[in-house]
Chains A and B, each alone.
Chain A
Amino acid sequence: MFPLAVRSYYSLMRGSSSPASLCARAQKLGYTGLALTDYNSMAGLWPFLAACKKYGLRALVGAEISDPHSPATVICLVNHSIGYTNLCNLISRRKINEKFSLQREVIEHNAGLIFLIPSISLLHNLRKYNIELAADLGSRPTERSGKLRKWARANSVPAVATPGAVMAQQSEKDLFQLMQAIRTNSRLDEQQEENDDFPACLESPVIYQDRFAVWPEVLAATDTLAARCTFSGPDFGIVMPPWAGNEFGAADSLRKAAYRGACHRYGTDLSEAVVERLEHELRVIDSMGFSSYFLVVRDIVHQACIKADGGTTRICGRGSGAASLVAYCLEITNVCPVKHNLYFERFLNPGRSDPPDIDIDFSWDERDAILANVLKNHGRHAAMVSTIIRFQPRMAIRETAKAFGLPPGEVSRMSKRLGGIRGRSSEPLLSSLQKMPALKKEELADPWPEIVRLASGLIGIPRHMSVHPGGVIITPDPVSNYVPVEFAAKGVPIIQWDKDGAEEAGLVKIDLLGNRSLGVIRDCIASIENSGRCFDEEYWQPDEDLQTRQAVAAGKTMGCFYIESPAMRLLQKRAGSGDFEQLVLQSSIIRPAANEFVREYVRRLHGGHWQHLHPRLADVLDDTFGLMVYQEDVSRVAVALAGFSHARADGLRKVMSKKDKELRLKDYYREFDKGCAAKGVDEETREKLWQMMMSFDGYSFCKPHSASYARVSYQAAYLKTHFPAEFMAAVISNQGGYYSTFAYVSEAKRLGLHILHPCVNTSKRKWNGRGDDNSIRVGLMAIKGLSVDTINRILTCRKKNKFASSIDFWQRVQPQKDESRSLIQAGALDSLDTEKNRSRLFWELFQFRCLAKSQKSNPLFGIQLPPAPVLEPATPKELLRQEYQVLGFLCKGHPLLFYRNRLQNSTRACEFAQYIGRRVRFAGWLLSGKLVSTKTGEVMEFLTFEDETGLVETTFFPRVYRRHAPILATGRAYILQGIVEEEYGATTLTVENVKKL
């Protein structure tokens, strides 16, 4: 029997097995093919087709469509390509249309589809239309299926058997029940009590034959029906966004636009290098048929850049697309590929079969409007790519614990401690947890071992669909002709495939992404201009500014895009160069598996002896001191030493970032080894080169991407160096940086800036930096619990008249009680408090609310408060406590000052340089941390602490980390003991002992 109805885990919590495991099981059971019919979904189409190919199975494409107003479902199987389009449209309508009627839609979209229906009434209703129908008898003869078969025989409709499997094997029953408990927000016990004999798995054909021995014609009809389904998957080729072209055609238009742009970028007298490269790129782009793609992207960017107020939007074209001179000339990207020697073949090469993609960053708060505009302009022809959110260890444990009925507090306590746990480890999850230093004091007592055991089965299973950060596809026909479309929670249309699926299908994606730092730079420059100073962006060359270079070389880049992390700041200090080219290199060399190369890079940069691993690498790795730094270095080395074609080398580069790369990498290794050997490279060198290539495991950047980012980094560093007040205010206002607001406020204080309390009469929504008096006024957005509506009311009311008194403020703004409380505690009403007594302000607030309530019916008279009782003002310490509680930082001073009398013998951060090689005691506030694994797999952590004088980077080696991990939490004070170390001018503290303060 051919299995016609099987769900995979792409049915989103209604199936537990991957398409691959279903196919593997089907092959093992002796089936010749499989029909995947996910519940209102085709998200698993491409993994299913790949698995069928791998296991030599015939793939039948289909889906199970449900009716939203009844329990009815039908199985739809595609028997030719029109049916595929209809099925995509059916699913899209089911997902989008709230008034979806299964019967009506099946009547409208039935061409090329065969419907398996388990309901006599629905079959009866559909029979009069010319629709290919079959009665779905399910997986075993029952009383219900007996009646259905009888009806089918009487009406000459074929009756077929379907496994209705929701899992590959019976052993997944517990997992499936857990998934149902999570899906229905119920307890696991309820599922176990209610569904004891459910669910169904894929059984052997022999079992179905035995079951249906009484109705042999059913199995024959099943196989006949399966044989009629000849559609084996869509083949669209490459689907480019359509360009509403002019009379010249896309290639000519692109050429003209590129040369026009080149003249704008380089002047009318174009150099030979520029012309040569332009011609080369245009030739490749034309031969691959991507001209229209460039023009569509250009149109999107240029339309997006024109703001309603006449200004322009700041963009950052990045990714491999930044290697294209054509893209630079079209003003899609901002870094000159000729000047920075960027490798075009990383972006496009004639052997590349997959579509290119260009990534463009917009300011984070402008991106949604730009996306909405693109989606609106292209209507049903545009949708966003989805991201399939899968269970990760932490989410799996949390959801399983909830299904076990553990209280939310206990679940979140445990969940917080699992921050460092990684998925896809070969080690059992429970063992990984038991080895976690942070869980040392958390006994994994019952029922946690059982929770973890079940949760480990969930890891990797899709949970729900979400929106890709910025991927948009634009298609010539409506998108729902290619792939089912649905609406994401945030209201945008998304396709049911993630980026890999879209790429597999040939749908070309354009990435429009959000970037906080573009907002920071925009706000900072606006603030400078608003203060009456001139800032000319046209001739702004931040990388040529000496002070900025010195600041970068000293690692003073907290708040600067991409170069503010402790690892980056330490690397800049050690490198001590601060120039743009090195910054490009540094932002690429910092990657998870490249620590030893970072050290080697610093040594070579400071004049240490080195030579290329092979003389043939001189042309390839000269700029990078003989080290492979960028993604394309992998491809270029493979081309230069192993004789790879550009396409094959690009394949090697791509496979490194894939999840299931092991098998494919083996093939590449053999080919690389053989190719190198043929060119006379000795075995030891071959092995070293391969190991260097393997350091690109996980994430890594190409040079065009690094260069694009470095440009933004440099702009940020320039602004921080010359306009610290405006810059730090913009960093905090735009949020989302590497550090907390607390850390940025401390940095601002260290830069000599005064932090002024929020004030209802002067604070804006965002933080406001003023370079003329070196101050930053805290924005109203910083006050916890203050709603956006209330902030808007404050700003609107203030426009008419400033607030004269607290009563005036409450009367006009009408904040909620808790909001008023937060405003008072933050000090935002201090300017209205003549007596400087917040206790009294609180009393007035209550009196006002009481009287306002009683005088609601007669609002003509102003409110007069009776005299307040004598209330003592709170102590300064209590005021600071309240301020910290409501703002998360202190405007004046540092929380560590409260402990100073207990810290007579401790060393301050600014004194560390005097104690190199010596043991010190240091009182610090923990800001952030980064967990890493040693070569032996042990966990250690780099933590950043600060005191009122500076930042201290610390190293917790595995033994020390294991001992102290349970007490470490950000936003607390600790006393550390350890040895101060120095490397190329950068000091760090190797910690030996820690205590809470």
Chain B
Amino acid sequence: MSSNKKYWKSVEELDQNSSVVETLKQNEFVQEIPTDEFLGDKASLESSSTTRRDFLKYVGFSTAAASLAACEGPVIKSIPYVVQPEEIIPGVANYYATTIADGFDFASVLVKTREGRPIKIENNTMAATNGSANARVNASVLGLYDSLRVKKPMKGDAEISWEQFDAETNQALTDAMNSGKEIVLFTQTFASPSTSRLIADFKAKYGNVRHVQYDAVSESAALDAFQAKYGERGLADYDFSKAMTIVSVGADFLGDWQGGGFDSAYAKKRIPDHGKMSRHIQFESNMSLSGANADKRVPVTPTQQKMVLAKLYAEVVGGSVSVDLPENILQAVTKTASELKSAKGKAVVVTGLNDINAQTVALEINEYLNSEAFNTASPIKTRQGSDKAVSTLVSDMKAGKVGAIIMSGVNPLYTLPNAADFAEGLKNTKVSIAFSMKADETSTNCTYIAAAPHYLESWGDVEMKKGHYALMQPTIRPLFDTRQFQDALLKWSGSDVSYHDYVKDTWNSSILNGGSFNQALHDGVFVSNVSIDVVEEATTEEDTAEAPSTNAARALASSAKAGSGLELTLYSKTGMGDGQQANNPWLQEFPDPISRVSWDNYLTVSKADADKLGLKNVHVATGALDGSYADVTVNGTTLKNVPVLIQPGQANGSVGLSFGYGRKAGLKDEMKTGVNAYQLYSDFNNIQSVTVAAAAGMHEFACVQLHNTLMGRGDIIKETTLEIFNTYDKEDHKHGWNKIPVVSLNHEETPVTSPDVDLWDEFDRSIGHHFNLSIDLNACTGCGACVIACHAENNVPVVGKEEVRRSRDMHWLRIDRYYSSEDSFEGDNEKKDNISGLGSSLSEFGEMENPSENPQVAFQPVMCQHCNHAPCETVCPVAATSHGRQGQNHMAYNRCVGTRYCANNCPYKVRRFNWFLYSQNDEFDYHMNDDLGRMVLNPDVVVRSRGVMEKCSMCIQMTQKTVLDAKRDGREVRKDEFQTACSAACSSGAMIFGDINNKESKVAHLKEDDRAYHLLEHIGTKPNVVYQTKVRNTTEA
């Protein structure tokens, strides 16, 4: 049916004379399409003899040729050793005990090597001190394969040889000595007996030598306080497994407080045993790991912390102080004091205030309490730095008093608050030598960069705490032409022994006391009751140490005066620490346990303060988190455009900012994230008075958890109080704290465990192994070592900030962190249960999305739950995921076609999809994109390609290996021999893996424990991961 109607496309067509209309009649577009831009110019197109048909022929031919060529297999070369080392069998891992001592992290570890390549760090269970690797130590193996390492000694920008380096530096040092100027050794804390001895030798040779030790994150006040009280430079050791009442005033002792490593002992007493567990009270400003784990957390500003501590002292020890604290805090302090008094020797008080009086007060309280957890006889040696000495050095350098400076393990131009002064000082110093693995901020400004080896390529020793020694040994031949600081010192001292022999000599002569060096090297650790006093410098230390006031508590209280602005607490993040490993993509992508933000640091602000200052956190359309920028000013130093994160639990009137970010030199562009908080670290005080002003623009965060509350769904994280736990049965009608969920069957409530309500028939799994993983929510501190261990073991790719922001993070194991919306999770549950009617549900569910001002916090590691009745398995159209008899949910990557049905059907959201090819792809320029970085890959686990789903395999490569070892030896698998990467990395005992068919195993008992429950049990997936109900000790003594 034809029509005469004319349809106008635009008003333009009404104009008969419009040239546009005329042109459009002839051409589709008004303007010429700029074909020249992508096809080349017209002339060259016309001159080409290739017709369209020819072109199509070429395309067809090349496509066919390419696809035919793809059918040809590549020729793979295999190159065996010429002389195979005796201890290496290709395909079999070797383990070496060694020690990391990078000035911030000190730990005795085992290094797994394959064909001579270190590929993973594991805990050294033989170590009595610091035998557990935290997230950073776990990730440190990747630093060995950093493609940006300095490969040869350098002078300025030019690579030189070690011969030239030796000749020139020897001359320079001699010149410095002759000129009467000082030679300064500016180093990290080595805590190494051999290095101390060596430096003494060096001093003997050159005379006018000063050794300044520097900790980027200072513990100087605690050291000074300890030294003043006990006459020895060290830190009091705490064994939290001996404490039943733990009070922390601003000390994140589960984080990096005083060197860290206290968490495993702490976790021991957190598991209710015969109705008893420790009680932990935390007064703090920033929400820290310790605060998150505390039974009672009181948010206080740093100034109030001082008052709290002084008041505690007054209440416990005696004396009077006048403090100005709000009523509720005062009450909390009084209660805490009475708890401390009643616990007596079972109580301990720690503080993180970098204030000599505060530290002295803490020591005095512990001494008064006669705390069993408190040990001053064998102090911790892993922090030695002195703020005063560093300040003196900087001014001396500026004054030109220093002739030569040799640095090792420090990066002052990045970490010093007064970096500009140091830079000026460097200019006034004739020769500067930096032993560094990187061309970083400092080393690039030095005369020479002495290419230093990674700790996995070095020899060394560490005195972790008095009498507790550890050895460092190379686990790989140096990758580059490097030399360690100590070897250079030996050369300069005119000695021709290697540092290896030197260490051996030190140990044989003064540490081992007749023991075998090889045995110590094998164990990696040695505990001696003979303490050696290395007299390196007794005199200099004394005059650098400060002395506390005679009445520390009163002094502390009187010093507690709030400034006008907000109070900033600088802290170190679990992932980044002091920032040495900023070029480590694993750590950059590691989500902070508290904020769950990766690839950034940020100013943590309380909700109330944020509203006052006009700072916002919003979720954009993709769900990703955006935050306002703020300018932060301390004493006239302004840090511009600091991203702001609203942190529940942040004390009003305080803000927090972490160290370790904002590095600019010696790292890939992708890793140049965050802002440098060291600029605000004036006087090495982690507490600063700041002014915060909102700045324009919004920052894009890469936050992996976008929903922060549990919404009253108490079956995700089951928790109860110690009182209820001790009093009532778990199935108690009213107070039951771990009831089996019920579902309706024929209108009758039937427990979900009943076979009647199951869709599937149960298989018999009683034969052979049946693996289960138990996760104790009480012992888990959220430290994240398991996340990195999983990364390393399973070749999990790093996807980068943009992809994390799109929720495409690949972590097989995540640690969910939940905040309560009410004061406690209990309150959330009640609120949800009391909701009735549409109106109330709309408003109250809305409220429940917002965390409380001072929320309870719970951590929950979640990985594939390996459901016996797995929802993912039934929806896979190609049967790429299936169940094994041993309980593992298998994933055959080569079979997967990437429909992602499984991920959609997984109630735990643990499946990860490879949106891209993450290895050998320039778009993802992380370790898997260079030959060096790929050396860290575990050869037993395949690197997944684009378009396939992946997930936790319950480390099937490890269970298979354990089984094979047993088969080869012709024996049964030993009790608790099975491990996964996460359970092996967990030093707090939160993760226990094993075979439940072996009734003797720990996990078999844990599965039957009263506290045991499954995640989302009511959906009947029958997971093989079992959680232990969290119990909080809310009993106020």
A complexed with B:
no
Interface residues of A (CB under 8 A from B): none
B residues in contact (CB < 8 Å) with A = none
